[in-house]
């Protein structure tokens, strides 16, 4: 795909600098809306292959892909399908997932991210995880809070996980740290970039 504009920065080896670079690059993608439309399609098709009935998603911030329109369509007409959004626990630094539906009453969390107001919590069977960057084999770079890793370390049973990112976020040399829980799949606007067990 030809980019109308590219920052063309050499990805920094310093993770906190790399996070800032990738976030700035994502916000500067002039074709982000077109990429989002492609990723909606990729996600909808991928979900057809999935057996899970409950999905933990996220309210998009900082130029993240918005998965909610695709999820709303996934849930439409299926009484047993549930969508949840994360609610942060400030003490445990873990996320719990609370039912969301279009028009659901929302309130802001400590980071100013909207979260469902007073809806039921549940354990999602599938987690859609926003990525600032990603590497081979399901390695994920987030905002550095460690919320998803702590949540995944505590969730039992462990949900299946799919990272969502635009393809610019691929950093070939990115390696996981010992606490990093690798993702099971990674979807971008170009398709299923990687999936565990599929060569
Ligand atoms: N859309 C969305 N919702 C989400 C997450 C996410 O990655 N995306 N989270 C995934 O964990 C949790 C929120 N985690 C967050 C962690 C850090 C920052 C943040 O703005 N950090 C500052 C730096 C703060 C610091 O260094 O102290 C920044 O990036 O500028 C925001 C959300 C739950 N909800
Ligand atoms: N299971 C865990 N238990 C305790 N601390 C953890 C755990 N997982 C991660 N952390 C802490 O969180 C910090 C940030 O982790 P990391 O750099 O992987 O964040 P991230 O995955 O990029 O961020 P996020 O998940 O919030 O988007 C780590 O330095 C680590 O100390």
Q: Note whether 88 and 110 are within 8 A (CB).
A: yes
To which residue do tokens 């600032």 refer? 132
- The CA distance from 44 to 67, in Å, is 9
- CA-145 nearest atom, ligand 2: 26
Can you read off the two tokens belonging to residue 61?
A: 């911030």
Instruction: Determine the atom of ligand 2 nearest the C-alpha atom of 148.
Output: 25
> Looking at the predicted structure, is the pLDDT value of residue 7 above 90?
no
- Res. 107: pLDDT tops 60: yes
CA distances from 9 to 104, 147, 179 (A): 40, 27, 28
User: Per-residue pLDDT tens for 27-68?
Assistant: 999 999 999 999 999 999 999 999 999 999 999 999 999 999
Atom of ligand 1 nearest to the CA of 62: 1
Give distance in angstroms: CA of 79 to centre of ligand 1.
Answer: 31
Q: What is the pLDDT of residues 153-163, one digit of tens each?
A: 999 999 999 99
Residue 88 token pair:
């942060």
What does the pLDDT read at residue 3? 53
Q: What are φ and ψ of residue 72, in 5° steps?
A: -60, -40
Instruction: Give the other-Cβ count within 10 Å of 17's Cβ.
Output: 12
60-78 mean pLDDT: 97
Task: Give the position, in ligand 1's atom list, of the atom nearest the Cα of 16.
Answer: 26
Give exposure, 156-172, as e/b (b: 16+ Cβ within 10 Å).
eeebbbbbbbbbbbbbe
Return mean pLDDT, the chain.
94
What the chain holds in terms of domains, given with CATH numbers, is 15-124+143-167 (3.40.50.10420)
User: Ligand 2: distance of its center to the CA of 132 in Å?
Assistant: 14
- Write down the pTM of the prediction: 0.93
pLDDT 10s digits, 142-183? 999 999 999 999 999 999 999 999 999 999 999 999 999 999
Q: Which residues line ligand 2 (CB under 6 A)?
A: 141-150, 153, 177, 179-180
Is the separation of the CB atoms in 98 and 84 below 8 Å? Answer: yes
**Minimum CA distance residue for ligand 1 atom 10:** 147
The residues that bridge with 86 in the sheet, in sequence order, are 97
DSSP-H helix ranges across the chain: 15-28, 32-48, 68-75, 147-154
Q: Distance, CA 179 to ligand 2 centroid (Å)?
A: 7
Percent of the chain at pLDDT > 90 equals 91
Residue closest by Cα to atom 27 of ligand 2: 142
Are 98 and 87 a contacting pair, CB within 8 Å? yes
Please report how the helices 68-75 and 32-48 are oriented relative to each other, as an axis angle in degrees rounded to 10: 30
CA 45/CA 39 separation, integer angstroms: 10
Ligand 2 centre distance from Cα of residue 147 (Å): 6
């Amino acid at each position: 795909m030809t980019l109308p504009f590219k920052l063309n920065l050499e990805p920094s080896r310093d993770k906190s600098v790399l996070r800032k670079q990738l976030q700035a690059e994502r916000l500067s993608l002039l074709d982000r809306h077109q990429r989002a439309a492609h990723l909606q399609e990729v996600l909808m098709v991928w979900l057809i292959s999935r057996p899970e009935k409950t999905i933990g998603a996220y309210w998009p911030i900082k130029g993240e892909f918005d998965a909610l329109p695709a999820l709303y369509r996934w849930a439409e007409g299926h009484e047993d399908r549930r969508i949840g959004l994360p609610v942060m626990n400030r003490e445990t630094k873990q996320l719990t997932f609370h039912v969301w539906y279009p028009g659901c009453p929302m309130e802001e969390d400590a980071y100013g991210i909207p979260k469902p107001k007073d809806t039921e919590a549940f354990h999602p069977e599938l987690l859609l995880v926003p990525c600032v960057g990603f590497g081979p084999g399901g390695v994920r770079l987030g905002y550095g809070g460690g919320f998803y890793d702590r949540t995944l370390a505590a969730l039992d049973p462990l949900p299946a996980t799919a990272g969502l990112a635009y393809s610019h976020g691929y950093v070939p040399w990115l390696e996981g740290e010992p606490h990093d829980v690798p993702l099971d799949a990674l979807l971008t606007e170009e398709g299923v970039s990687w999936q565990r067990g599929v060569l």
